[in-house]
């Protein structure tokens, strides 16, 4: 109990500190997901569901999640080795096209640690566990059940022959999605239901009351029951923190969109005023329906 209290206190204190700064600490992203699947038993169940395998011994898992306290950008959610395969898992509540690049950095770091005592300059091949990259998405924007996100998608030049590629599978784990996967992993399905309950209840009550109600109902209905009973205080605090973070990121995105729209509107209005002052009515009409012509006029007037 003392350890749980310390963890909760540290988390809440850090959250309060970040609120005073006006920001949210990104390193606590996915904390609840990590907590739930930190158990080898639950992690193996998730792995079997994703890969349609039937491993039974959790001790076959070798967890090697990056935990770099100095360079937190090199911290990933979950990674482990089983049967000569390296699995890297990330949970996201926002769509992120840069995850393949982050996965590349994680994998490079992990492979570097694995081979630091091996002869990389010799004639014998240094064997590596084959990687697989999976993103578990439960954001509010509509996404398909499954999609592939590639590293090459962010290359500035798209060559016919790609020398370095990394493919990540993104699975939508919101309630009502990937039901076959959910049926194979009760813990993942329970997590999906819990998150959905919190989101639904916040529509009619305070966040704290919504989380408390969701936890109580889930325990009564055998949804993440053991985990929530054993970690109720920390799970509640982390859920509140994560929901606030998710809300904060939506607000930042919305503010950026509004600022962008305001800038674009002012730019167009300025162009219209300049064209009107020169009696260029035809250009005004054409620019209203021809984006390329509009951009040409922007360049002409240095806008």
Per-residue model confidence as pLDDT tens digits over 253-299? 565 555 566 666 777 777 777 777 787 777 777 776 677 888 888 88
State residue 249's pLDDT score: 56
Which of 112, 98, 100, 25 lies closest to 66, judged by CA?
Answer: 112
pLDDT, mean of residues 154-172: 94
User: What's the CA gap between 181 and 186, in Å, rounded?
Assistant: 9
pTM score > 0.85 for this model? no
State residue 14's pLDDT score: 36
Q: How confident is the model at residue 148 (pLDDT cuts 50, 70, 90)?
A: very high
Using the structure block, give the residue that is written with the tokens 């020169």.
278
User: What's the CA gap between 6 and 81, in Å, rounded?
Assistant: 30
Is residue 75 within 8 Å of 27, Cβ to Cβ? yes
pLDDT, mean of residues 174-182: 96
Read off the pLDDT of residues 33-79 as tens digits, 9 standing for 90 and up. 989 998 999 999 999 999 999 999 999 989 887 654 333 344 567 89
DSSP code string of 12-71? HHHHHHHHHHT---GGGTTHHHHHHTTSHHHHHHHHHHHHT-----GGG-EE-----SS-
């Amino acid at each position: 109990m003392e350890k749980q209290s310390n963890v909760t206190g540290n988390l809440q204190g850090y959250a309060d500190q970040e609120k005073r700064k006006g920001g949210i600490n990104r390193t606590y992203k996915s904390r609840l997901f990590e907590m739930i699947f930190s158990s080898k038993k639950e992690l193996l169940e998730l792995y079997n569901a994703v890969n349609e395998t039937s491993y039974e011994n959790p001790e076959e898992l070798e967890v090697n999640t990056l935990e770099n306290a100095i360079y937190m950008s090199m911290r990933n959610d979950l990674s482990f080795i089983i049967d000569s395969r390296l699995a890297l898992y990330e949970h996201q509540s926002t769509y992120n096209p840069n995850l393949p690049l982050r996965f590349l950095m994680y994998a490079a770091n992990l492979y570097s640690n694995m081979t630091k005592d091996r002869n990389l300059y010799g004639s014998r091949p240094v064997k590596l566990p084959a990687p697989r990259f999976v993103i578990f998405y439960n954001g509010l924007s509509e996404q398909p059940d499954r999609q592939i996100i590639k590293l090459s998608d962010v290359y500035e030049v798209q060559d016919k022959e790609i020398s370095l590629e990394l493919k990540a599978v993104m699975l939508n784990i919101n309630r009502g999605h990937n039901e076959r996967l959910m049926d194979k992993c009760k813990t993942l399905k329970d997590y999906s239901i819990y998150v959905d309950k919190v989101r639904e209840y916040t529509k009619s009550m305070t966040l704290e009351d919504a989380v408390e109600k969701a936890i109580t109902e889930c325990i009564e209905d055998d949804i993440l029951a053991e985990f929530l009973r054993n970690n109720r205080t920390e799970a509640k605090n982390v859920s509140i923190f994560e929901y606030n973070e998710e809300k904060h990121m939506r607000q930042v995105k919305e503010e950026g969109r509004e600022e962008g729209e305001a800038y674009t509107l002012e730019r167009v209005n300025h162009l219209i005023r300049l064209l009107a002052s020169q009696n260029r009515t035809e250009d005004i009409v054409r620019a209203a329906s021809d984006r390329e012509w509009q951009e040409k006029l922007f360049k002409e007037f240095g806008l």
